[in-house]
A and B are shown apart, each in its own frame.
Chain A
Amino acid sequence: MTAAFWGLAVVSAASAVAVFVVDSMARATFALLTSLLAVGVAFLLIDLHYLGVLIILMMVMEMLIMAVFMIMFMMNPAGLTPMRMVHNTRIAGLVAGGVFVLLAAGALLTPWPRRRGRPPADPTHALGLSIMGPKMLVMMVIGVAILATMISTVVLATARGRYDPPPDRRTGEGER
């Protein structure tokens, strides 16, 4: 268990570093994905099955959608030209260092509580209850409402889709 955790931690950190080292956007994207997947698997280790699998699921989808935008803007298969994945290194380094120190300090200095009792049979269930408690029904309704809003916004916002004929051609004029 501990070995698995440290293994995942190393994979996660190493591929996170790789994001900035590799020279193509595709590799950077998938290095980031590897890092996040390792985090997802780490959740499985602490028996948060649902959250762990959900992280894997969502991260793959998110990274792929990112990739679509990438090829939309950069029609270069396999990232022909090597690129540096870092810009504005000085300020970025300062910000990153600052955030790292802050988070690490938080992790080390927080007085973590000792474990009392045993973990629940279904930690995800327990976690959900403790976060949302009696508001569960409301949250679920809101979830569906958000989805409906998203879809209708997309439908309303796109007067014409990427593949629809432009308005001047819709009447079947044939050309131009």
Chain B
Amino acid sequence: MSEAVPYGIVVAFPVALAGFTVVAAVFDSVVGAGWSWRAAGGPLREAARLLVQQRRRTLLPDTLLLRAGVCGLLVAAVLAGVVLPLGERPVADPPVGVVWFNAMEVCVWGAIWLTGWGTNSCYPLVGGYRFVAQGLAYELPHMFALITVGLGAGSLRVGEVVAAQSGLWFVVWMPVAFAVYLVSAAAMAFWGPMDRPVGSDIAGGVRGELSGPDRLVFQVGRYALLVVAAAAAVPFFLGGGAGPVLPAWAWTAIKTAAVLAGLIWAAHRLPAVRMDRFTQVSWLVLIPASLLQLLVVAVVVL
């Protein structure tokens, strides 16, 4: 953190994050409309609508906590993203970048719960409740997947994790950890099959009482978080910016787009997963599986 960060990266990071966020929203809209490119303008019109829309007022909201939650989602997504390399190097490369990513992504729990609580309404509260339950279900296997990565690289610094994959990408010899990571990436961004915290069955869940700018910030935060979750798979499992011919940043962008597209496609391809069913599998199957993966990697490293 001490060495000087190139000015370009500091500018490129928010631009890249914003660009991918818009692309994710557009692609989601297109796939959601049955691969109709007519729907590509949807997210931008929606953003316009939310910009001019009034705020919805509920009875006795806790406005301070609500705003903290809504903004917290976007802030957590950005902070989680700063340790991810945009090519050669990230905005910040702390020695514990992997844990930092994990910590920021856990901060999302707080943001979502606050949003659900603050509106003082039943469905959002249930949505917040669901997200914490979802967090407890996915977090342990997720942590083990990240620890596997750290163990394989012998470091928690994201830059060194990437360097350790110069020979063989982690996805090749840690497939279980990668699969667990993809599941938990969807879960942390309450995305795709794991979207019950904002499910339509509880009238929009956490965001059920948000309108206008509140909803806009929330939606942007959610897509940004999805982008960051997808982008993190690249340095952790897919060799970072490594690849022939093209420069590192291009490969990072291509791989991120591929993971992102996969997550968005899966979201429309699969029915939703409820935590009252998933938690048991997560604890009884995914945790042992990721522990075994950890053991295998530990043996290989030794």
Touch test A–B (CB under 8 Å): yes
Instruction: Report A's interface with B, CB cutoff 8 A.
Output: 24, 26-27, 30, 33, 49-50, 53-54, 56-57, 60-61, 63-65, 67-68, 71, 75, 77-80, 122, 124, 144, 147, 151, 154-155, 161-163
What per-residue 1/0 map shows which CB atoms of B96-111 lie under 8 Å from chain A?
Answer: 1001101100110110
Across the interface, do B117 and A77 meet the contact criterion of CB distance under 8 Å?
yes
Q: State in angstroms the CA–CA spacing of A147 and B147 once bound together.
A: 15
Q: State in angstroms the CA–CA spacing of A151 and B281 once bound together.
A: 12
Across the interface, do B103 and A24 meet the contact criterion of CB distance under 8 Å?
no
Across the interface, do A79 and B283 meet the contact criterion of CB distance under 8 Å?
no
Across the interface, do A60 and B106 meet the contact criterion of CB distance under 8 Å?
yes
Q: What are 29 of the A-B contact pairs (CB < 8 Å)? A: A24-B62, A26-B114, A27-B64, A27-B65, A30-B110, A30-B114, A33-B110, A49-B94, A49-B96, A50-B96, A50-B99, A53-B100, A57-B102, A57-B106, A60-B103, A64-B109, A64-B113, A65-B136, A67-B132, A71-B117, A75-B125, A77-B116, A77-B117, A77-B119, A77-B124, A78-B60, A80-B120, A151-B284, A161-B280
Name A's interface SS. helix
Whether B139 is near chain A, meaning CB under 8 Å from some CB there, is yes
Residues of A within 8 A of B132 (CB): 64-65, 67-68
Q: State in angstroms the CA–CA spacing of A80 and B60 once bound together.
A: 7
Residues of B within 8 A of A75 (CB): 125
Q: State in angstroms the CA–CA spacing of A8 and B89 once bound together.
A: 29
With CB as the reference atom, state the residue of chain A lying closest to B140.
Answer: A147
Q: State in angstroms the CA–CA spacing of A56 and B101 once bound together.
A: 11
In whole Å, how far is B161's beta carbon from the nearest beta carbon of chain A?
15
A161 in contact with B96 given A26-B117, A30-B110, A64-B109 (CB within 8 Å) = no
Across the interface, do B120 and A77 meet the contact criterion of CB distance under 8 Å?
yes
With CB as the reference atom, state the residue of chain B lying closest to A76.
Answer: B120
Which of B68, B106, B117, B122 is packed against the most chain A CB atoms within 10 Å?
A: B117
Across the interface, do B109 and A61 meet the contact criterion of CB distance under 8 Å?
yes
In whole Å, how far is B6's beta carbon from the nearest beta carbon of chain A?
22
Across the interface, do A151 and B125 meet the contact criterion of CB distance under 8 Å?
no
Across the interface, do A71 and B129 meet the contact criterion of CB distance under 8 Å?
yes
Across the interface, do A79 and B62 meet the contact criterion of CB distance under 8 Å?
yes
In whole Å, how far is B299's beta carbon from the nearest beta carbon of chain A?
14
With CB as the reference atom, state the residue of chain A lying closest to B279.
Answer: A161
Taking A53-B102, A60-B107, A68-B129 as known contacts, 16 extra A-B pairs with beta carbons closer than 8 A to each other, sorted by chain A number, are A27-B65, A30-B68, A50-B96, A50-B156, A53-B103, A64-B109, A64-B132, A68-B132, A71-B125, A71-B129, A77-B119, A77-B124, A144-B291, A151-B283, A151-B284, A155-B283
With CB as the reference atom, state the residue of chain B lying closest to A50.
Answer: B96
In whole Å, how far is A172's beta carbon from the nearest beta carbon of chain B?
18
Residues of B within 8 A of A77 (CB): 116-117, 119-122, 124-125
Whether B225 is near chain A, meaning CB under 8 Å from some CB there, is no
Q: State in angstroms the CA–CA spacing of A54 and B122 once bound together.
A: 33
Whether B61 is near chain A, meaning CB under 8 Å from some CB there, is yes
The one of B103, B110, B140, B284 that contacts A155, using a Cβ cutoff of 8 Å: B284
Residues of A within 8 A of B96 (CB): 49-50, 53, 124
Whether B287 is near chain A, meaning CB under 8 Å from some CB there, is yes
What per-residue 1/0 map shows which CB atoms of B44-86 lie under 8 Å from chain A?
Answer: 0000000000000000111011001000000000000000000
Residues of A within 8 A of B62 (CB): 24, 26-27, 78-79
Residues of B within 8 A of A161 (CB): 276, 280
